[in-house]
Amino acid sequence: MLIAMNVLETLWTKIKQALICLRPGRVTLPYPFAPHDPEEGFRGLPRLNVDKCIGCGGCANVCPARLIRIVDKDQTTRVLVFLYERCTFCGRCAEVCPEGAIEMSREYELSTDDVHDDMIGEYHIFMGPCERCGRCYRPPSVLDKLQQPGFRSDCIDRKCPPEGCRIVLDEDTDDRAEAPTQTASR
C-alpha cells in the first residue's frame, strides 16, 4: 500500500514537472546565427573620442586591469594604447574621464578569426603648442595636477594666457588632417 502511494506520488510529481517544462516552450536563442543585442545600459568595449581627449591619463591611472598605456611619441603627440584583450569592461575609465571622452560602447563580440588582429586600440592625441597660434594648450587643466611619471612636464609647465586656445581645431577642418588622428587596428 505504502509502495503504491509512493509510486503514485512520484508519478504525480513527474506530471507536474512535465507541465513546468511544456509551459515555456522553446527558450533557446538562435545566437550566434542571429544577433543578440545587449540590454540597455550595457558596458561594452570602451571607445575613446580623440576630439575630446586632453591626454590627462586619468583613465590609465584608475584602470584595474591596467590596459591603457600612455606613450609620448614626440613633442606634440601623445599616444594612448588600449590593450583591449585585457579589458574587463568595468567602465572606470569612462567614469573618471573629466572630458567625457571615453564611452562604453555596446560592442562585446571580441573574438576574431584573424591571427593578426592584436586587439589594440591606438589613439593619437595632439598635445602641446598649438600649431595655429603657437601658444600652448590651456592651463590650469587636469594635467597640472598630475605629477606622476609618464607625463610630459614640458607642456604642463609652460605658461599660457587665461583665454588660452584649446588646441582641438574644430573650426578649421583643413588643419585637422595633421592634428588629432585616430588609428585603431580594430
Partner 1 sequence: MSRHVELDEDRAVTAEQITDSMRRRLGDGLLDSRPAGPTRLYLTVDPAKIVDAADELFNGLGARFVISAGTDERENRGGFRVSHFFSFDDEDLYVALHALVPEDDPRIDSITPIIPGANWAEREIQDLLGVTAEGHPDPRRLVLPDDWPADVYPLRCDFDTRDRPASAEGMAPPMKNRPEGAVMVPVGPYFPTQHEPEAFAVFVEGEVVVDSDYRGFYNHRGIEKLGCADLTYNQIPFIAERICGICGFVHSCAYCMAVENAAGIEVPRRAQYIRTIFLELERLHSHLLWTGVAAHIIGFDTLFMQTWRMREPVMWLCEQLTGNRKTYGMNIVGGVRRDLPADAHEKIEKVIADVEREWSALTDAVPGDRTLIARLEDVGTLTPDQVRQTCCLGPTARGSGVAIDLRIDHPYAAYGELEMEKCVEDGCDTLARTLVRLAETPVAIDIIRQCLAKMPDGEIQATIDEEIPPGLEGIGAVEAPRGESFHWVLTGENNRPKRWRVRAPSYQNLQAIGPMIHGDVLADVPIDIGSIDPCYSCTDRMTVIDRRSGQMRVMTREEILDRR
Number of residues interacting with partner 1: please give it, by CB under 8 A: 30
User: SS3 letters for 9-59?
Assistant: HHHHHHHHHHHHHHCCCCCCCCCCCCCCCCCCCCCCCEEECCCCCCCCCHH
Cβ-based nearer residue to partner 1, 68 or 155: 68
Among 91, 129, 139, 164, binds partner 1 (CB under 8 A): 91
CA distance 80 to 43: 20
SS3 for 93?
Answer: helix
Cβ-based nearer residue to partner 1, 95 or 144: 95
Q: Would you say the C-alpha torsion 155, 156, 162, 168 has a positive or negative sign?
A: positive
Cβ neighbours around 171 below 10 Å, total: 9
14 binding partner 1? (CB under 8 A)? yes
Q: Shortest approach of partner 1 to residue 44 CB, angstroms?
A: 9
Among 2, 4, 20, 115, binds partner 1 (CB under 8 A): 20
39 binding partner 1? (CB under 8 A)? yes
Q: Would you say the C-alpha torsion 142, 146, 152, 155 has a positive or negative sign?
A: positive
Mark 47-86 with x for binding to partner 1 (rule: CB under 8 A) and - for no binding.
Answer: ---------------xxxx---------------------
Contact set with partner 1 (CB under 8 A): 6, 9-10, 12-14, 16-17, 19-21, 24, 27, 38-43, 62-65, 88-92, 95, 104
